[in-house]
Chains A and B, each alone.
Chain A
Amino acid sequence: MTTQIVQSVLKEAGKHGAKKVKEVSLVIGKLTFLGLEQVRFAYEILTKGTIMEDSNLLIKESEGVVKCNSCGYEGDFKYEDNPLYHLPMPTLHCPKCGGIVEIIGGKECIIESVKLVVK
């Protein structure tokens, strides 16, 4: 994924005749399997020797959002808070009515914006 991110930014920078990329802003959904630390590490390695080297990588995390088909609830997951799980485990039960929800947000990996030096 990070390779795709770097390639997309380099392509965009090339189109604008940029000589340097200053900053890249990403939005990564909490329901993706992307680890922020790994993305940062890969970004550093992959940008070495390119016009993106030493650029600022800003990452915003977006929350998981579910929608209930029964009562129309839209918002955060219902979590199963069993101490065994270490982290609360998200479930597809509606926190309001107990119905079944579907995931409508939190699976994104978006390049929101880039800052380029063009002269």
Chain B
Amino acid sequence: MSATQRLKDVVEAEEGEIYDIELSTDLLKANQRLAEENKQFLHKDGVKAIDVMGATGSGKTSLIEKLVELLKNHYGIAVFKGDLTTTIDAELIARHGVEVVAINTGKECHLDANLVRKALKKLDISQIQLLFIENVGNLICPAEFPLGSDKRIVVISVTEGPFMVVKHPFIFMDADVVVINKIDLSQAMDVDVEQLEEDVKTVNPRAKVVATNCRSGEGVENVAKALGLL
């Protein structure tokens, strides 16, 4: 990143030895620019990208597995799987016969547009029409870093408790679709799914909310519909 890209002016201070330099360099804009480039690159070949965010264990991988099964006869699908380390989940998804690129961030708590750009180089995108990008399990930082996707999903589950939305309002502002997973456990967890849905609508009235049980597949078709994929 060049710090001088937006160098406006160089002003010499009175003492003649201190330079006061105006920079106006937005460091987060650099990622936003790369994300826009990723989007254009994908659109050029007619590929739609979906960013899947959510806490560790909320069911992001299970949701993607079920969506892949549901949609693989309609679209050529590829999946980017972000994790700090290991390819456990990437291998789980690859079993469904789609191309998977594991993105190991090492220590970073989120994917960024640059990592996605690197992963795109590993794909023959002429073979795909749909790309799922599973972000690192985290409800905070991924919201700060757009990747170039067309839609963003946030997955939460009832086992995370009743306050996930009100505790993390910012990530839900960025969501097009919010999935409330593991609804089969809502009674055991004493979590009111409708209240969670209402919390999402309070923060982001634009978001579509879908309740699922990604183990049985219940509600997954509605997720695909909410994404405009069916």
In the bound complex, residues from chain A placing their C-beta under 8 Å from that of B194 are: none
Inter-subunit contact B23/A113 (CB<8 Å): yes
Inter-subunit contact A100/B206 (CB<8 Å): yes
Q: Does B140 contact A (CB under 8 A)?
A: yes
Give the contacts of B134-171 with A (CB-CB under 8 A).
Answer: 140-141, 143-144, 166, 169-170
In the bound complex, residues from chain A placing their C-beta under 8 Å from that of B26 are: 108-110
In the bound complex, residues from chain B placing their C-beta under 8 Å from that of A108 are: 26, 28-29
Inter-subunit contact A8/B25 (CB<8 Å): yes
Q: Does B21 contact A (CB under 8 A)?
A: yes
- Min CB gap A31→B, angstroms: 7
Inter-subunit contact A115/B18 (CB<8 Å): yes
Q: Which residue of B lies closest to A93 (CB)?
A: B205
Complexed CA–CA distance, A8 and B204 (Å): 35
Size category of the binding interface on chain A: 35 or more
Q: Which residue of B lies closest to A11 (CB)?
A: B3
Q: Does A80 contact B (CB under 8 A)?
A: yes
In the bound complex, residues from chain B placing their C-beta under 8 Å from that of A1 are: 27-28
Inter-subunit contact A92/B206 (CB<8 Å): yes
Size category of the binding interface on chain B: 20 to 34
Inter-subunit contact B206/A12 (CB<8 Å): no
Q: Does A56 contact B (CB under 8 A)?
A: no
Complexed CA–CA distance, A112 and B17 (Å): 20
Inter-subunit contact B19/A111 (CB<8 Å): no
Interface 0/1 of A84-119, CB less than 8 Å to B = 110001111100000010010001111111111111
- Min CB gap B15→A, angstroms: 9
Q: Does B187 contact A (CB under 8 A)?
A: no
- Tell which of B3, B19, B25, B206 touches A115, judged by Cβ atoms closer than 8 Å: B19
Q: Does A48 contact B (CB under 8 A)?
A: no
Inter-subunit contact A22/B169 (CB<8 Å): no
Q: Does B88 contact A (CB under 8 A)?
A: no
Give the contacts of B100-145 with A (CB-CB under 8 A).
Answer: 140-141, 143-144
Interface residues of A (CB under 8 A from B): 1, 4-5, 8-9, 11-12, 15-16, 18, 22, 31-33, 80, 82, 84-85, 89-93, 100, 103, 107-119
25 A-B residue contacts at CB 8 Å? A8-B1, A8-B23, A9-B3, A11-B3, A15-B4, A31-B170, A32-B144, A33-B170, A80-B203, A82-B166, A84-B166, A89-B166, A89-B202, A92-B205, A93-B202, A107-B144, A108-B28, A110-B27, A111-B23, A111-B24, A113-B21, A115-B19, A115-B20, A117-B19, A118-B17
Supplied contacts A90-B169, A91-B203, 4 more A-B pairs, CB within 8 Å? A32-B144, A109-B27, A111-B27, A113-B24
